[in-house]
Each structure stands twice: as structure tokens, then as C-alpha cells.
A and B are shown apart, each in its own frame.
Chain A
Amino acid sequence: MRPPLGQQFRTGDTPLPDVIILTHKLTREYDMGSELVRALRGVSVQIRKNEYVAVMGPSGSGKSTLMNLVGCLDTPTSGEYWLNGQKVSDLEDDELARIRNKEIGFVFQTFNLLPRADALHNVELPLIYAGLSARSRRAQAEHALERVGLADRMDHKPNELSGGQRQRVAIARALVNEPSILLADEPTGNLDSTTSSEIMGVFAELHRQGQTVVMVTHEQDIAAHAARVITLRDGLVATDQLKAA
């Protein structure tokens, strides 16, 4: 077991080059009118390139909040967040949108595909916002769909695909921009166990190819696919364990 990272970082430092995700004393508080909800109370985590990490924890532990912060959908109340060598915790809205577009590939529990668009167009979406030409968009989207084994389903609409195939389209969409991290939020929550393990297989293959994967889940057996499990409780890191390979 390697020692978990994150002890040696101090405010003012920059992360080591192979550290993709670094959070330092990250807090997030919500003002709910009458009371102040402290969803995160100082989370310091470092994730290296090509790690496969599962984030676990009971509901209310702050794992969704951490996910949103790591996904640059939200900004922290205090603390630092470094993504791929760039400090993103104090960026503006539009800059965060650019980071999401370039550095992060989301995979959602409910797939979130556009129902009227075919698989190819769904995968092209991030590239539209990246400002790519139609031709290179198409080429990249086709390549991403091939990587998840859907080369023959490109012109199918989501309702013509099975749940597993839909999640593969979503994974292809997450991969198409070649992001620094693949961020999956309960990726098997809407799938049966057979399909779940199929999707886990896809993740394992992507990890083997060098992709950094961060996955939020509450299922022990899904988390078991990851090489490292971080458990949150009450807005703090409870355990951070590397699994023997």
C-alpha cells in the first residue's frame, strides 16, 4: 500500500506534475436561510494521473458536493482546487465552462443524452462548444464511439438503444474531448447487474489505456473495481485506502 497523498501540500505550493486533482482544505457551505449547512469541512485529496478512484460515503456525507466541485460545476467556499496543474478554485463562470469542456468528461447516472439527437450528434456536443469544425467533430465523435464499441450504432437515437448502450454513448461523449479526468456519478445506478459489469469493463479498459477515472458510488461491489477508495463522512475524508493490485 502506497501512503495516501496530500499531507505535504501547503497553501502557496503548486502540485507535483503528475497530480491531476489536488484539493486543499476544501470547504463548501450552503446558506439555507435559517441554518448554515457545511457540506464539506476541509477536504484535502490528491489524485495522480491514471488513478482509478472511487468516492464513497452515505448520503449527506458530502460526496455529491465534492463531485460538483471536482467537476467545476460549483466553486468552493474556501480552500484550493488544482486541476491538471491549474488552480481552478477561483475561476469565473465562463472559465469554468471552458475547463469542464477541456478537462472533464462527465458520465451521469441517468445518461443525460439528448433524446432527439442520434448517438453521433450526442457525442459531438462537447466539441461544438470547443469550437471544432463539423468535419473534425464528426471524425472525433466516430472515434470515441468506436472506443466504446458502438461503431455500428452511430445513427441510432437514445430510445433505439439499450441502457448499457446509452451509457456507452455517454462515456463516448465524456471521452471525446480527451479530458484529464473521467468523472462518473453513480454510472451504474440505472443499470442491471449484467450491464453494470459490462460498463465497469469499459471503465477498466479506459483505465488500462491511461485514463484517470473518478467515480462516485454508494455500491461496495462497484467501488471494488477501483484501485483506491476514498470514503467521506460528515464532510471530511474518513478513509483513503489503496487496494493491493
Chain B
Amino acid sequence: MPIFEALRLALQTIRAQKLKSGFSLLGVFIGVASLIGAWSIANGVNRYMTEKFAQTLYGVNTFQLRRQPMFVPNVPDSVWRSWRRRPRIRFSDAEAITEGLTVPVITAWQSSDNVTVSFANKEARDIDLTAASERYFDIKNLRIAVGRAFTGQENRSGVPVAVLGDAVAQRLFVDRPPLGRNVRIGGVPYRVVGVVEKQGSLMGFPLDRFVVVPALSPAQNLVNPPGILDAFLVKARSDPEMREAMSQAEGIMRSRRHLRPQQDDNFVLDTSEGIQRFWAGISRILMIVMPGIVIVSLVIGGIVIMNIMLMAVAERTREIGLRKSLGARRRDVLRQFLAESTAIAAVGAAFGIVAGIGLTLLINAISPLPASVSPTSVILGVVMGAGVGVVAGVYPATRAARLDPIAALRQE
């Protein structure tokens, strides 16, 4: 019997016994749906982490000279304390690196703290005040929606101008145009020259509650002691150039701090690698746990299908005997029942794929977790689903194929 014929017969049987088939494909359905759902979440968060998160926090091809890493999960207290004892990054360090680097880069100073920003009788509390140099906007990929960024000239002269995040502009000015107005930060009026495009949120954290002012404006005293920086940002044109710039910057810093060769750096050149490594760890755990769940449900699904098929073989013993007497060979009978179990599993897998994709879209819509359907998981779902069908069908189909036609025909 050709495969096509076997498949047609299998689908006929499934159609004829909808309820029974429905139950039997439930296991594979759940397995495949959870595979795709979980994989899609991991996949989505993964992409989010590598593309958006890292880019927002650090910038592309960008490293930051800092006293300690910005993102540090699970550091022991002793390490933390030793970081706090390190010398801070000074304006002069930044200037020395800018002069010393031979790789083409753009750089920015950055110091931040939380402040209250006010306009007239309105206040915006808990706003991230960043004192930065003019290229900060380029490095962080912050596009100006209204007005302009401040200039290098304004930065060097410490002119009190401010560029607002979208949420701050909305809070203080509502629908009025903010350009040219003065907001007060730490009692000093700053003229608003621009508003940054809305950034949205990152894993549920709002990204638009900030104000950027020139690094040398009066606000520098609100964010750090004189001459001190939180971070010196260096953006190269490519990853290899960034590596080169990092090694040059490390040399410059070591010599400025008179570190002997056996001494460790007492500063960090921080990139998005750290956070990505951290995420990779989490997703590795996810990738170990998830297959467990999937395998358990697929095994259960397989057992259910095997049981149903054994029942089907018992019920249809007479039919098998008849088919054999009409010329069905062992392999014809085998193929018929294998096709049936595979078709049940495949239908289950198909529903599972639809449900998995639906689940993904639902998670995307109602939770801050970003999820995106991974084509690999869909392919894997199909392969595993059908595989379960074949494996679960082998034993019942073999039993059917081995039936003695005389005994089978005699059965009531």
C-alpha cells in the first residue's frame, strides 16, 4: 500500500473517531505548545538582551571607563568593598585617553544622579540628571525630537542648557512648547534647548525620565565631587576597533595610575559583554529546564498514543485479518498503523504550533516580557511531534502486522 493511501486511511480514521483522537493528541499538543511558548520567550528575551538592552545601557561598539562594572549580579561584599576603595575616574583621565587613542572614536563624559526638576509650580521628581558632553547623544543613540542637542561650545563653557527626556517634558509642560523655557535643577535655571524622542520602556522600566545637561554646567556639583566622572564613554566604528581602543585605554590608565605589571587594573573597561554573559547563564538554565518539561509531556503524549493504538489494533483485529486475507503484507499493515499514530501526533503538533504561537503573541501583548516565535522551535515541534507518533506507533503496529490472519478473522 502506498504511503499516500496509508495517510488517507489514517486521516479517515481520525475523522471518524474525533473524541478519541482528540484525547490522544492532547499530550503531543501540550508538549509542542509548551516547547514553542517557552522557546519563544527565551528567544525574545535573548534578542531583547543582545539588541536592545545592551544597546540602551551601553551603546553599540562602546565601552565605558568606570571605577566598577555597571551591571554586577551576585558580587560578594568583599569584592564590592574593594571596588569602593578604588580611585575614581577623573576629568584628567578622560582627557588623557582622548589624546592618547590612535583609533578613530567619539567620546563622552557622563555623571548621573537622581534629582527633582521643576518648572513654575510643577515638579518632576526622581529624574535621572546626566551631566554629559555633547557626543553623549550620538553614543547613546538618543535622537532629538524637538529643538537640538547642546553644542561642544556650550558644553565647554558650562552654559546652563538642558535637553529633556520625553516624560519630563510631558510632566512639566504638558502640551505647551518647552523650548526656550527655563527649568530649575538644584536651584539653577536651565534653558530647554531640546526634547529627546520617546524611548519607551525596558523590561518595564521607563526610559524617558531623564534630563541631560552639559558636563561642565553648574549641575556638575550635584552629580559628583569636582573633577570626578561616573563614566567615560568611548564609541568606536567597529568591534575590532573598539578592542584596540580598549587596550590602548587600559595602557594609558595603568601608566597614569602607576600600576606594576603584576597588579590588577583598579578600573574597568565595561562593555555589554558582562550583562550578556549574565543573560546567557540564565538562558542556559532555561534551556536545561525547558526540554525537561517538553520531554515529559511528549513522553506522556507518546504513551497515550501508544495505548490508543493498542486499543485500535485490538478493536480492529478482524479488519486486519480481512486486509491480510485480501493481500496486505506485514509491511502494509505496519505502515497503516504507523501512519495513523503519526498522523494523530502530527495533528496534535499542528494544533500545538498554533497554540504556541498564540501563547507567544499573548505574552507579547499582555506582559512586559518580549517574546518572538523562533522558527527553530516550530521545526523542532513538528519533528518531535511526528517522531513521538512514529515511536509510539511502532509497537502497536508491529503487533498488528504480526497477527495471524486466520485467528484475526475468527475474532468477534
Do A and B belong to a common assembly? Answer: yes
Collect the chain A residues with CB atoms within 8 Å of residue B318's CB: 112
Are B330 and A74 in contact (CB-based, < 8 A)?
no
**Given A93-B329, A100-B326, list of 5 further CB < 8 A pairs?**
A94-B329, A98-B327, A106-B325, A112-B318, A125-B326
Question: How many residues does chain A have at the interface if contact means C-beta atoms less than 8 Å apart?
Answer: 24
Residues from chain A with Cβ under 8 Å of B323 in the complex: 125, 129
Q: Contacts A97-B329, A98-B327 hold; do A128 and B406 have CB atoms under 8 A apart?
A: no
Q: Is the interface of A mostly helix, strand, loop or mixed?
A: helix
Query: Within the complex, what minimum Cβ distance (angstroms) separates A114 from chain B?
Result: 6
Number of A-B contacts (CB under 8 A): 55
| B315–chain A nearest beta-carbon distance, Å | 12
* B409 close to A (CB within 8 Å): yes
CB of A102 within 8 Å of the partner chain: yes
Residues of A within 8 A of B135 (CB): none
CB distance from B312 to the nearest CB of A (A): 13
Nearest opposing residue in chain B for A68, CB measure? B406
B406 contacts A100, C-beta separation under 8 Å: no
B2 touches A108 (CB 8 A): no
Docked complex Cα distance between A68 and B331 (Å): 22
CB distance from A81 to the nearest CB of B (A): 16
B325 adjacent to A128 (CB under 8 Å): no
Interface residues of B in 221-247 (CB under 8 A from A): none
**Residue B286 at the A interface, CB < 8 A?**
no
Inter-chain contact B327/A126, CB cutoff 8 Å: yes
- Chain A residues with CB under 8 Å of B332's CB are 97, 129
User: Residue B376 at the A interface, CB < 8 A?
Assistant: no
Across the interface, name the chain A residue whose C-beta is closest to B326. A126
Chain B, range 1-41, C-beta contacts under 8 Å to A:
1-2, 5, 12, 16
By a CB distance below 8 angstroms, the chain A residues around B324 are 73, 97, 100
Of A101, A114, A129, chain B has the most CB atoms within 10 Å of the CB of A129
B406 & A129 in contact (Cβ 8 Å cutoff): no
Please give me the residue from chain B that is nearest to A101 by CB atom.
B327
* 12 A-B contact pairs sorted by A residue (CB < 8 Å): A73-B405, A94-B330, A97-B324, A100-B327, A101-B327, A102-B327, A112-B322, A116-B16, A126-B326, A129-B329, A129-B332, A173-B326
Q: Does B354 contact A (CB under 8 A)?
A: no
Contacts of A16 in B (CB 8 A): none
Chain A residues near B319 (CB, 8 Å)? 114
Question: B residues within 8 A CB of A112?
Answer: 318, 322, 409
The answer on a CB contact under 8 Å between A97 and B327 is yes
Nearest CB of chain A from residue B321's CB, rounded to whole Å: 8
> Contacts of B329 on A, CB cut-off 8 Å?
93-94, 97-98, 129
Q: Does B328 interact with chain A (Cβ within 8 Å)?
A: yes
B interface list, Cβ under 8 A from A: 1-2, 5, 12, 16, 318-319, 322-332, 405-406, 409
Using A74-B406, A116-B16 as known contacts, say yes or no to A129 and B330 having CB atoms under 8 A apart: no
The answer to whether residues A93 and B327 also contact, given A108-B409, A116-B12, A128-B1 and a CB cut-off of 8 A, is no
A71 at the binding interface (Cβ < 8 Å): yes
Contacts of B327 in A (CB 8 A): 97-98, 100-102, 126, 129-130, 177
Whether the Cβ atoms of A73 and B325 lie closer than 8 Å is: yes
Contact A129 B326 (CB under 8 A): yes
- Give bound CA distance, A112 to B320, whole Å: 11
Residue of B2, B325, B330 touching A93 (CB-CB under 8 A): B330
Closest chain A CB from B363 CB (angstroms)? 42
B15: min CB distance to chain A, Å: 10
B-contacting residues, A178-211, CB 8 Å: none
A131 CB-CB contact with B under 8 Å: yes
* CB-based nearest A residue for B15: A116
A98 to B1, CA, bound (A): 12
Q: Chain B nearest CB: distance from A84 CB in Å?
A: 15
* Bound Cα distance from A145 to B93, whole angstroms: 99
- Which chain A residues lie closer than 8 Å to B409 at the CB level? 73, 108, 112
Q: Mark A157-192 against chain B: 1 for CB-CB distance below 8 A, else 0.
A: 000000000000000010001000000000000000
Interface residues of A in 91-109 (CB under 8 A from B): 93-94, 97-98, 100-102, 106, 108
Nearest CB of A to B96, in Å: 84
Residues of B contacting A129 in the complex (Cβ-Cβ under 8 angstroms): 1, 323, 326-329, 332
Assembled-state Cα–Cα distance A101/B332 (Å): 13
Q: How far is the CA of A199 from the CA of B329 in the complex (A)?
A: 30
- A106–B325 Cα distance when bound, in Å, is 8
Evaluate contact between A106 and B326: CB separation under 8 angstroms: yes
Residues of A within 8 A of B328 (CB): 97, 129
Task: Give the distance in Å from the alpha carbon of A114 to the alpha carbon of B328 in the complex.
Answer: 15
Query: In the docked arrangement, what's the CA distance between A94 and B327, Å?
Result: 9
A contact residues around B326 at 8 Å (CB) = 100-101, 106, 125-126, 129, 173
Q: Which 9 A-B pairs give the minimum distances between C-beta atoms?
A: A101-B327, A129-B327, A97-B329, A126-B326, A94-B329, A112-B322, A100-B327, A73-B405, A129-B328
Give the shortest distance, in Å, between A135 (CB) and chain B (any CB): 14
